[in-house]
Amino acid sequence: MDQLEPDRIARELRDVLTHERRALSPDMVSLDAVYAGAARRRRRRTAMVAAAGAFVLLAGAAIPLSILLLENDQPRVPLQTTTSVGPTEQTPQRTPTTSPSPPEPSVTSSTVLPAGPAWDGAGVLSMTATSTRTIVVLGALGNTGSCTPPDCVRLAQSRDGGRTFSALAIPDAALAGGTGATLRRSATNVRFGSSRDGWLYGDGLWATHDGGSSWHAVPMSGGVSSLAAAHGVVWALVSANRGNDQHLWRSAVGSDSWTRVPDVTVPATGDVAVFGSRVIVLGAGPTSKVWVSNDGSTFAAHPSGCTSAMAAQLSASGSLWAKCVTGMASYVVTSADGVHWSQVPVSQDGGSAPNSLTLGARGPDDAILALDASQPIVDLHADGTQQAVSRPPALGASIDYLGFTSPSVGYAIDGTHLWRTSDGGDTWTRLHIS
């Protein structure tokens, strides 16, 4: 609205108040009083506007900003609410943009049956963990060298830390071992890279992308000796033409499109692991290297930590350790970055350690070490100090595997059974797979 000039206001007011039809005397109306009244009304209007602004700001401190915004000239309100705006007027309810979820299917006996064959007392071969609570276990049933598929392999999954298990499907053609013509069909290890994507591998490779409900064979150029998955990528060491050399291959976790990584060739039995954001490929032998990638895109070669060995096994969980196998004995090395390695004394007399040594990285500076069935398990630190921890009460059996998902939660395989610790190795509980 255009503002009127003060003189014009005075003139129009005088004309109105002194118009002859009203027979009013100009002396009855003081222009000073008119101006004073107008000033008072302006001050009242200014105070009311300021008060309303203060109310909006105070309301904004307690109400989400999205509710105060306008959409199609209507105040936005939370879903499924009705806000009164007058005696009879209401804002319409907002309709959700997505359809409601369908009702849960009724649970019947057919929907709770295991997806695969029962465990039936199979011996544990391998295990993998996708969290501190979820694990998948691979087992072998009977005489694995002469069994008829699918009566060789068993798979079971637990989502509650090993209290209960359910059977998973298995590949029809997978053996748990074998020689000669059956060699390519053996599955001796299991790994999962997510809750849906997993692999069985050995002298063959199988993949699942539906959480283990179904499996399919993945053609590879040779047997798979090592496999690791993290950050949406799966890595595998594959023998070249079934010879001694191994090549590094990679694929997206949810895909079966594998490509070879150039310039990474391991001349002896090596291993691959993911350590933080780094991918480590460790070879063994006097001319071997360790290949390190900071992000999985390119690899740089460095001297191996297992140059005087014929095989290498990596363990990475909080820290990075390796077992170097010489043939008659073994030794342990550790690294903070995968590039620089140092040997860690493990035997009490300073001599060599047995080939049966089993190692599992645990925390930022230590690993759990099992030398043989006659000695206790120890917590081994990078400076060589050791502290005894409890041994799974396995009647003197040797421990074939040690692995930790956190400094507290770890697993051990004694050749037949699977054990779990939730206190860093102080106590162990045998998991009963059924």
Query: What residues does CATH 2.40.10.500 cover in the chain?
Result: 119-232+251-262
Strands 187-192 and 166-167: unpaired
Return all residues near 2 (Cβ < 8 A) that are at least 6 apart.
none
Predicted pLDDT of residue 141: 81
In this prediction the pTM is 0.71
Task: Return d(Cα 306, Cα 100) in angstroms, integer.
Answer: 58
Mean pLDDT of 411-429: 92
Residue 88 CA, distance from chain mean position: 53
DSSP letter at 182 equals G
On the question of pLDDT at 263 being above 70, the answer is yes
Predicted pLDDT of residue 417: 93
On the question of pLDDT at 148 being above 90, the answer is no
Task: Return d(Cα 145, Cα 181) in angstroms, integer.
Answer: 11
Give the DSSP H/E element, type plus range, for residue 262.
strand 259-266
Beta strands in 1-152 (DSSP E): 70-71, 74-75, 123-129, 135-140
Predicted pLDDT of residue 177: 60
Q: Which of 262, 140, 127, 129 is nearest to 189 (CA)?
A: 127
Predicted pLDDT of residue 183: 47
Of 288 and 381, the structure prediction assigns the larger pLDDT to: 381
Task: Return d(Cα 110, Cα 11) in angstroms, integer.
Answer: 95
Predicted pLDDT of residue 368: 95
Give the DSSP H/E element, type plus range, for residue 274.
strand 271-275
The pLDDT-based confidence of 110 (bands split at 50, 70, 90) is very low
Q: Tell me the per-residue pLDDT of 44-81, one tens digit each, with 9 for 90 and over.
A: 544 443 444 433 333 333 323 222 222 233 333 232 22
The domain 119-232+251-262: what is its CATH number? 2.40.10.500
Query: What residues does CATH 2.120.10.30 cover in the chain?
Result: 267-434
On the question of pLDDT at 178 being above 80, the answer is no
Is the separation of the CB atoms in 325 and 284 below 8 Å? Answer: yes
On the question of pLDDT at 371 being above 80, the answer is yes
Mean pLDDT value across the chain: 76
How would CATH label the architecture of 267-434?
6 Propeller (2.120)
Dihedral pair phi/psi, residue 40, rounded to 5°? -65, -40
Query: What's the longest Cα–Cα distance across the chain?
Result: 129
Give the DSSP H/E element, type plus range, for residue 61.
helix 31-62
DSSP letter at 354 equals P
Which residues on adjacent β-strands are paired with residue 419? 412, 430
